[in-house]
Amino acid sequence: MTDLETLQRDALAAVERAGDLDALDEARVRFTGKKSDLVTIQKGMRELSPDERKERGKQLNAFRDTFQRAFDARRDELASVALRERLEAERLDLSLPPRRLTPGRPHLLTQVEQEIVDVFVGLGYRVAEGPEVESGAYNFDLLNIEPDHPARQEMDTIYVSFAADVVLRTHTSPVQARTMTAQAPPVAVVCPGRVYRADSVDATHSPVFTQVEGLLVAQDVSMADLRGTLLAFSRALFGAERQIRLRPSFFPFTEPSAEVDVSCGFCGAADGRAGDPDCRVCSGTGWIEILGAGMVDPNVLSACGYDPGEVSGFAFGIGVERVAMLRHGVRDIRDFYDADARFLSRF
Ligand code: DAH
84 and 228 both lie in a single domain? no
CB-facing half-sphere around the CA of 263: CA atoms within 13 A: 17
Q: For residue 117, is it within any domain?
A: yes
Q: Mutation test of ligand 1: which of 316, 318, 322 has the most ligand atoms closer than 8 Å to its C-beta? A: 316
79 and 127 both lie in a single domain? no
Note down pLDDT in tens along the chain; length 347 residues: 458 888 899 999 999 999 999 999 999 999 999 998 888 888 888 888 999 889 988 999 999 999 999 999 999 999 999 899 999 999 888 898 888 888 888 999 999 999 999 999 999 999 999 999 999 999 999 999 988 888 777 668 999 999 999 999 999 999 999 999 999 999 999 999 999 999 899 988 899 999 999 999 999 999 999 999 999 999 999 999 899 999 999 999 999 999 999 998 877 666 767 778 888 778 888 888 999 999 999 999 999 999 999 999 999 999 999 999 988 889 899 999 998 989 998 89
Rounded to the nearest angstrom, the distance between the alpha carbon of 155 and the centre of ligand 1 is 19
Beta carbon of 251 within 6 Å of any ligand 1 atom:
yes
173 and 301 both lie in a single domain? yes
Rounded to the nearest angstrom, the distance between the alpha carbon of 279 and the centre of ligand 1 is 27
Q: What CATH code is carried by the domain that includes residue 276?
A: 3.30.930.10
In angstroms, rounded to a whole number, what is the distance separating the alpha carbons of residues 186 and 188?
A: 7
Beta carbon of 213 within 6 Å of any ligand 1 atom:
yes
Q: Where does the chain show beta strands of DSSP type E?
A: 126-127, 133-135, 159-161, 166-168, 187-196, 208-218, 244-251, 254-263, 287-296, 312-319
84 and 232 both lie in a single domain? no
Nearest CA to ligand 1 atom 3: 171
What is the count of structural domains for the chain? Answer: 2
pLDDT score of 308: 98
240 and 145 both lie in a single domain? yes
Nearest CA to ligand 1 atom 6: 317
Q: Mutation test of ligand 1: which of 196, 253, 260, 321 has the most ligand atoms closer than 8 Å to its C-beta? A: 253
pLDDT score of 2: 56
In angstroms, rounded to a whole number, what is the distance separating the alpha carbons of residues 165 and 174?
A: 14
211 and 319 both lie in a single domain? yes
Beta carbon of 263 within 6 Å of any ligand 1 atom:
no
Q: For residue 175, is it within any domain?
A: yes
Domain stops at, among 54, 89, 124: 89
Domain stops at, among 30, 62, 89: 89
Rounded to the nearest angstrom, the distance between the alpha carbon of 211 and the centre of ligand 1 is 9
Beta carbon of 297 within 6 Å of any ligand 1 atom:
no
Question: Domain range holding 12?
Answer: 2-89
70 and 126 both lie in a single domain? no
Q: Which atom of ligand 1 is nearest to the CA of 317?
A: 8
pLDDT score of 272: 67
Cα torsion 278, 282, 286, 289 to 10°: value is 170
Q: For residue 291, is it within any domain?
A: yes
Beta carbon of 317 within 6 Å of any ligand 1 atom:
yes
Beta carbon of 315 within 6 Å of any ligand 1 atom:
yes
198 and 232 both lie in a single domain? yes
112 and 58 both lie in a single domain? no
234 and 315 both lie in a single domain? yes
In angstroms, rounded to a whole number, what is the distance separating the alpha carbons of residues 279 and 268?
A: 10
50 and 178 both lie in a single domain? no
Query: Cβ-count burial of 49 within 10 angstroms (0-12 exposed, 13-18 middle, 19+ buried)?
Result: exposed
List, as one string, the DSSP characters of 2-39.
Answer: HHHHHHHHHHHHHHHH--SHHHHHHHHHHHHSTTSHHH
In angstroms, rounded to a whole number, what is the distance separating the alpha carbons of residues 287 and 267?
A: 10
126 and 84 both lie in a single domain? no
3-state secondary structure labels for all residues of 214-225: EEEEECCCCHHH
Q: For residue 9, is it within any domain?
A: yes
Rounded to the nearest angstrom, the distance between the alpha carbon of 195 and the centre of ligand 1 is 12
Rounded to the nearest angstrom, the distance between the alpha carbon of 213 and the centre of ligand 1 is 7
pLDDT score of 288: 87
Q: For residue 298, is it within any domain?
A: yes
Nearest CA to ligand 1 atom 4: 171
